[in-house]
Structure 1
Amino acid sequence: MSIGASRERSLLSASELERVRFSHYPGLVGAERDELVELARWLREQRGRLQGQIRQGRRLRRGKAEPRSQREGSANEQHLAARKQVFSQALRRVNGRLDHLSVERRRQQNVARLQAALERKRSAPVHHPQPGPHAAADAASIENPKDTVRTDPREIGRVSQFVKDAQVRRDNQG
């Protein structure tokens, strides 16, 4: 569930509110990557601090821990959870913008690499080897160096007749 700007104003101090406002749309677009990384780090720290306070409050109510200070037991868990939610949403927006920036940076790097590869390909000498001797250029015939087996033509006929006779014998048995 989203938290509106008026609710953010009521939950956060002035300095916190200024940094969280920077995480909204107009502030995110013009921000540099380093600023966004620093903001994300600060938002994570604030969210973690509030998570720790909520956990400690739950441990106090269950009797698992002793209060660290006089005020600790009186903190309203719903108020802390709402503040934590504000920081979580701001962190989500900042992380989304950081992801968008990294995708754009990778896309630009890939385009640059592809352009460089295309330039290398275009500037490389064209390799068209000569086809060698062919019939139109009066090529000499090349003798096959392998020995060919010469079969007696009578042997070919004998084997063919043997196969025919064997097939007739099989047909008559069935």
Structure 2
Amino acid sequence: MGASFATERRLLSEEEVGFVRRSHMPALAALTPEEALETARWLRERHARAQGKVRDLRRARRGKSPGDGAPSERGLAAKKQVFARALKRLNGKLGA
């Protein structure tokens, strides 16, 4: 089951919420192909960034790299999943 809007808002900043909202209906249907592509690029970049942070935290926990006192892995992993779900919705529009 997907995350609710309230859960997404809690995990994301205001800027991030704006981009993720574009991936939900009816805003998704109103996007032009250029806007959808721009949004997908932005979401991919944020997803990759969150993925890298999660990977770094896991490495630090195993003692393979120094920890930097970053936020919890659990919250970052949830944020990464929000971006992944938004990308999945956008990719459906871009492929159609």
The TM tier, using the shorter chain, reads: over 0.9
Within 2, Cα distance between the matches of 1:28 and 1:18?
A: 12
Within 2, Cα distance between the matches of 1:30 and 1:3?
A: 22
1:93 counterpart = 2:89: yes
CA displacement at 1:51 relative to structure 2: 0.4
Within 2, Cα distance between the matches of 1:78 and 1:98?
A: 30
Tell me the residue number matched to 1:127.
Answer: none
CA displacement at 1:93 relative to structure 2: 0.3
Within 1, Cα distance between the matches of 2:29 and 2:51?
A: 29
* 1:154-169 aligned within 5 A: none
Percentage of pairs with the same residue: 47
Within 2, Cα distance between the matches of 1:16 and 1:51?
A: 16
Q: TM-score scaled to structure 1, two decimals?
A: 0.53
* 1:66-81 aligned within 5 A: 66-67=66-67, 69=68, 71-72=69-70, 75-81=71-77
Within 2, Cα distance between the matches of 1:30 and 1:44?
A: 20
Letter of the structure 1 residue corresponding to residue 81 of structure 2: Q
Deviations 1:79-104 (A, max 9, x none): 0011001000000000001111xxxx
Higher gyration radius (CA): 1
Name stretches of at least 5 consecutive residues in structure 2 with no aligned partner: none
Letter of the structure 2 residue corresponding to residue 88 of structure 1: A
Q: TM-score scaled to structure 2, two decimals?
A: 0.95
Tell me the residue number matched to 1:141.
Answer: none
CA displacement at 1:9 relative to structure 2: 0.9
Tell me the residue number matched to 1:63.
Answer: 63
RMSD: 1.0
Corresponding residue pairs, total: 96
Within 1, Cα distance between the matches of 2:28 and 2:61?
A: 40
Within 1, Cα distance between the matches of 2:94 and 2:10?
A: 28
SS of residue in 2 equivalent to 1:25 = coil
Tell me the residue number matched to 1:27.
Answer: 27
Deviations 1:98-119 (A, max 9, x none): 111xxxxxxxxxxxxxxxxxxx
Tell me the residue number matched to 2:45.
Answer: 45
